[in-house]
Amino acid sequence: MAGIADFLDSLVGGFDLICYSIVIGGLFWGLFVLRPWNDTTESSTVLSQKTVQLIYKGGFYLAGAQLFKIVLKVWLMTAILERWPFPEFAETTQFVVGITRFLLTLLLAGYCFQFLRNNANSKTNWLIALLVAFPMIISGAWLVHAAGRFDNQSLLMSLTVIHQLAAAAWVGGVLQLVNLWLLKKDKQVSSQLWPLMLSRFSVLGVSSVIVILLSGLPIALQYIDSWNGLIGTGYGNLLVVKLILMALALGFAILNKRAVTDYQANANDCALIKRVPHYVEAESLVLITLLFTAASLASQPPAIDIPTLTTSWEEVLNTFHPQIPQTTSPTHSALLAGEAGRVAIIDQVPSIAATEWSNYNHNIAGIFLTVMSFLAMLSYVRKLPITPPILNKYLVITNYWPLGFVCLGVFLFFRSDAETWPLGPIGFWESTFNNGEVLQHRIATFLVLFLGIFELSARLTQNPKSKLPYVFPILAAFGGLMLLTHSHVGFQAKSAFLIQVGHTTMGIFSLILACGRWLELKLDRPGKEFAGFVSVAALFQIGIILMFYREPLY
């Protein structure tokens, strides 16, 4: 059961950060953007009540997540150490501060539920809520990476808390914008609030990004001491991923800012109504992924601590080097024969069969995706006005490209974990729930299968109001999230990193795939087609990476 505990532990880390952003970002939103005490119209009151609702609900969930984290730690320790971890665990900083933070979060959520909810237009109530949140924010300092460090501990703990606060202000604010848009769409709030809040949030958003960078830079310099550390370690790699995701989110933020400026200058609300809400949705998707990446980053050893395990940039580049895909697989018996030596601690013998088995899986999956995405790109050619009708007739077949996902899902089900059912001796349930990596592969397999079924149905449906098309971008985003937090056991640190770097790159493309498809469904022409093409082009890139994938010998 350690696999599940470990899996949930990581999951709760990301969920915790999302709830934290909803609570703390919501408070900043209320104090600096909404300012409900200045506007007590019915429309504004509805918005402030909904904002407070989000805050206290987020607070209760955050308290639950905090408590669950402690339970999971106990579960994980019992499974790994094979004994009950008490009373020793009760004396650790993690337990004491974890319980304290749980109680402080409960206090904050309780205050917002009891007092702020009943008078959401009172400035005093908002200020008291921030005051009540303060000890909870501070307590978080003992639960971060820096708490275990020997050098500059206090400085790093403080900077991390500031970094988290700024990130919460940004992410929480963007989530509040989504909330506002949904309320506006339901005609629960005045349409005037949309441009007003967007404009006010621009200031908070820009300030948050500046603080994120100012607090993040010294932390990065403390944990990464060389360019190689940035490029050649898991910690550095995830930091680069965070920067790329941040750049993506900032791209959407800039588009929003431009639309607001355009509206203020010309009173033209076309972009503000038709495009900005969907950019905000895509930005939320990116930022949520960013939070999960941040949670994953916290479990990586800092680059400065592992100079001998750092990979050179040449080795990293070599991972993406084009090569002939491996289209023949070692036999299942050859693979199993090498397993005992591969997993041994003493007299370990690297298994060529295991490496080739994995290469084959990745390369064939790459061929599937490359062909599918190529067909998908051709389907956009059909939509061009210059495409001759005769060609259009033959290109109809390109609409069925999502069928490839179904075939890929079946392939992965049989090939992902050779030592488990249906090919290997370990049973389905036993392998799924005792090994986090197998569990991850099983989820990925079902994810791919569902992707195919949903997307094919979505593209063939005649119902223009169907919600089916939205399933694909949601699942693709989650797939990306999984790739960004993917890890392998049984590898040396360098090998594990070389695998990670390919997976994280594909994770970024998955997110682009998700955002592109989402925007294709939401935007008007010509942005619609452009976003759709970018989406399938990202899928093509994933296919190419997989097609050239080479696993290190281990």
Partner 1 sequence: MRKWFQLAALIGILAPIELVSAHAVVTAYSLKSIPIHAHQADKVELTFNSKIELGLSQVYLVRKGDKHALLKVESGHKQGEVIVYIPALEPGEYAIKFKVFAADGHLTEDIIHFSVS
The distance of closest approach from Cβ of residue 88 to partner 1 in the complex, given in angstroms and rounded to an integer, is 3
CA distance linking residue 360 with residue 300, whole number of Å: 29
Q: Where does this chain bind partner 1 (CB under 8 A)? A: 2-3, 6-7, 9-11, 14, 73, 76-77, 80-81, 85, 88-89, 91-94, 98, 143-150, 292, 296, 298-302, 305-306, 344-347, 436-437, 439-440, 443, 446-447, 450, 454, 466-468, 470-471, 474-475, 477-479, 481-482, 484-489
Residue 115 Cβ vs partner 1, minimum distance, rounded to whole Å: 32
Smaller CB distance to partner 1: residue 105 or 125? 105
Q: Which residue has 């979060």 as its token pair?
A: 105
* Greatest extent of the chain over all pairs of C-alpha atoms, in Å: 77
Residue 14 or 36 with smaller CB distance to partner 1: 14
**Closer CB to partner 1, 344 or 397, in the complex:** 344
User: Which of 145, 415 has the CB closer to partner 1?
Assistant: 145
Residue for token digits 């299942």?
Answer: 332
Q: Is residue 473 within 8 Å of 467, Cβ to Cβ?
A: no
The CA distances from residue 291 to 23, 62, 65, 440, in Å, are: 14, 14, 15, 19
* 275: Cα within 13 Å, side-chain hemisphere: 21
Of the two residues 352 and 443, which places its CB atom closer to partner 1 in the complex?
443
Q: Which residues contact 318 (CB under 8 A, 6 or more apart)?
A: none
- CA distance linking residue 544 with residue 368, whole number of Å: 10
Give the shortest CB-273-to-partner 1 separation in angstroms: 25
Nearer to partner 1, 330 or 480 (CB): 480
Q: Give Cα separations from 505 to 244, 310, 486, 544 (angstroms).
A: 10, 18, 11, 11
Least Å from the CB of residue 429 to partner 1: 16
Please give the full DSSP string across 25-88, using - where no structure is assigned: IHHHIIIIII-GGG---HHHHHHHHHHHHHHHHHHHHHHHHHHHHHHHHHHHHHHHHSS--TTG
Minimum CB distance to partner 1 smaller for 39 or for 419: 419
Cβ(62)–Cβ(20) below 8 Å: yes
